[in-house]
Amino acid sequence: MVRVVIATPLEPELVDRLRRVDDRLDIAFEPELLPPPRYPSDHVGELDFERTPDQEQRFAELIADAEVVLGFPRESPRRLAWLVRHAPKLRFLQCMYAGAGQQIRAAELTDDELGRIAFASGSGVHATPLAEWSLFGILALTKDLPRLLRDKSARRWDHYPVDELPGKTLLVVGLGEIGREVARLGEAFGMHVTGVRRSETHRIPELVRDADAIVVALPLTDETRGLIDRETIAAMREGAIFVNVGRGAVIDEEALIDALGSRKLRGAALDVFAEEPLPKSSPLWELDNVIISPHTAALSVKENERIVELFAENLRRYLAGGELISRVRTNVFY
Ligand SMILES: NC(=O)c1ccc[n+]([C@@H]2O[C@H](COP(=O)([O-])OP(=O)(O)OC[C@H]3O[C@@H](n4cnc5c(N)ncnc54)[C@H](OP(=O)(O)O)[C@@H]3O)[C@@H](O)[C@H]2O)c1
């Protein structure tokens, strides 16, 4: 039997779905040891939740026997390191986030631990909501939502033409699960879509010149940190729309703020920031051509269902000795 511990809050019917995956799975789920979710598909749970010493002991015992774990407590590198040290039998950890590589790196696990455990990220789980949000940002800025809101509050009835998407060029930087879905939706809107993978990073400065809209859906790695630098932003087309749903530190945020403030860029829709929560002093709050969402664009009521689907498939593969979907490469941490 393979002992599987669910270390994240989950709906009982989804736990049952996992129990039906294979008779060889022995699935442990003790919700009273986990922080109660604040909203559907919340993996962090009530922030003031703390286990009693007794519960902490029970949780440690549960983890000690685990060969497979879903989620890690409170999704922090510190708690991930704790979990790995308390789970000597752990072989496979299914993470809930696409960006889990960064937390794994920050947990500073030993080479032995990285070699012993296969980590799978939640890559793909957020593709639909983030691609929708990216197109929402492009549409909102193309149709000048900020002006519509201003005019509405002033009860102003003004006539003016608005732009449209067919024939416009969309550049998708990062053609993973999210980027590919952005590309698919962009094509459905009649946009001419180009995209960049890891091997094509060098083409970004050239491709941004021709892009009317740019969507960044990159992981944060040593290679991508600061990749969209001041020079790249300066090379962007006048009036381009910029969207970031990957990670904030991939962008030179100051240079972006300058380009938005001077109206070189038409506007930006940002879900991720160099520092989160976005500091109250950030000029981004003041810019009316910027749409801000507090790293919530991926949150969806369907998230747990999608994660369970991915985990169920990975459990089948794990039992069959096959390759896991979205296994984190621990040399590049994504
Ligand atoms: N806003 C949110 O709440 C939220 C939610 C989920 C994910 N995210 C972020 O979005 C990222 C992407 O998610 P995903 O599910 O699409 O990941 P994914 O499927 O792993 O795809 C990552 C993509 O980025 C490309 N890439 C990596 N390094 C690159 C580089 N230096 N230059 C150009 N392209 C590079 C990869 O290229 P190859 O195809 O060549 O490997 C791949 O196409 C995550 O890592 C996470 O940080 C944010």
State the Cα–Cα distance between residues 202 and 86, nearest whole angstrom. 43
Are 152 and 272 in the same domain? yes
Are 219 and 190 in the same domain? yes
CB 96 less than 6 A from any atom of ligand 1: no
Are 112 and 255 in the same domain? no
pLDDT surpasses 90 at 227: yes
Q: Taking CA 290 as the corner, what is the angle to CA 285 and CA 292, rounded to the nearest 5 degrees?
A: 65
Residue 326 lies in a domain: no
Are 119 and 241 in the same domain? no
Q: Report the candidate in 155, 158, 140, 179 with the shortest Cα–Cα distance to residue 268.
A: 140
* pLDDT 10s digits, 7-21: 999 999 999 999 999
Residue 334 lies in a domain: no
Are 136 and 264 in the same domain? yes
pLDDT surpasses 90 at 71: yes
Ligand 1: which atom is nearest the Cα of residue 220?
Answer: 47
Q: Which residue has the tokens 């962009």?
A: 186
- 292 beta partners: 270
CB 223 less than 6 A from any atom of ligand 1: yes
Residue 333 lies in a domain: no
Are 131 and 257 in the same domain? yes
Q: Kindly report the pTM of this predicted structure.
A: 0.91
Q: Which two tokens stand for residue 89?
A: 């039998």
Are 262 and 275 in the same domain? yes
Q: CATH code at 307?
A: 3.40.50.720
pLDDT surpasses 90 at 99: no
Residue 253 lies in a domain: yes
How many domains would you assign to the chain?
A: 2
Rounded mean pLDDT, 217-235: 97
Q: In a mutational test of the pocket of ligand 1, which residue from 175, 184, 220, 273 has the highest number of ligand atoms less than 8 Å from its CB?
A: 175
Are 190 and 120 in the same domain? no
Residue 331 lies in a domain: no
Q: Which range marks the domain in which residue 21 is found?
A: 2-125+300-320
* pLDDT 10s digits, 140-173: 999 999 999 999 999 999 999 999 999 999 999 9
> Given pLDDT bands bounded at 50, 70 and 90, which one contains residue 219?
very high
Q: Which residue has the tokens 């005019």?
A: 151
Looking at residue 309, its pLDDT comes to 97
Residue 4: enclosing H or E segment and its boundaries?
strand 2-6
Looking at residue 155, its pLDDT comes to 98
State the Cα–Cα distance between residues 279 and 286, nearest whole angstrom. 12
Are 135 and 116 in the same domain? no
Are 285 and 136 in the same domain? yes
Residue 190 lies in a domain: yes
Catalytic residues: 247, 276, 295
* pLDDT 10s digits, 261-301: 999 999 999 999 999 999 999 999 999 999 999 999 999 98
Residue 285 lies in a domain: yes
Looking at residue 216, its pLDDT comes to 98
Q: Report the candidate in 91, 85, 93, 97 with the shortest Cα–Cα distance to residue 44.
A: 97
Ligand 1 centroid to Cα of residue 244, in Å, is 11
Are 120 and 145 in the same domain? no
Looking at residue 25, its pLDDT comes to 98
Give how far Cα 90 sits from Cα of 21, 58, 61, 109, 311, Å. 19, 17, 13, 13, 16
Are 191 and 234 in the same domain? yes
pLDDT, averaged across the chain: 96
Ligand 1 centroid to Cα of residue 1, in Å, is 35
Ligand 1: which atom is nearest the Cα of residue 326?
Answer: 20
Residue 330 lies in a domain: no
Looking at residue 44, its pLDDT comes to 84
pLDDT surpasses 90 at 98: no
3 state SS for 247-286: CHHHECHHHHHHHHHCCCCCEEEECCCCCCCCCCCCHHHC
Rounded mean pLDDT, 197-219: 97
Rounded mean pLDDT, 204-219: 98
| Phi, psi of 280, deg, nearest 5 | -60, -25
142: three-class secondary structure by DSSP? helix
* pLDDT 10s digits, 26-51: 999 999 999 999 998 888 889 999 99
pLDDT surpasses 90 at 74: no
Query: Mean pLDDT lowest for which of 34-48, 102-116, 197-211, 220-234?
Result: 34-48
State the Cα–Cα distance between residues 68 and 51, nearest whole angstrom. 22
pLDDT surpasses 90 at 122: yes
Looking at residue 53, its pLDDT comes to 97
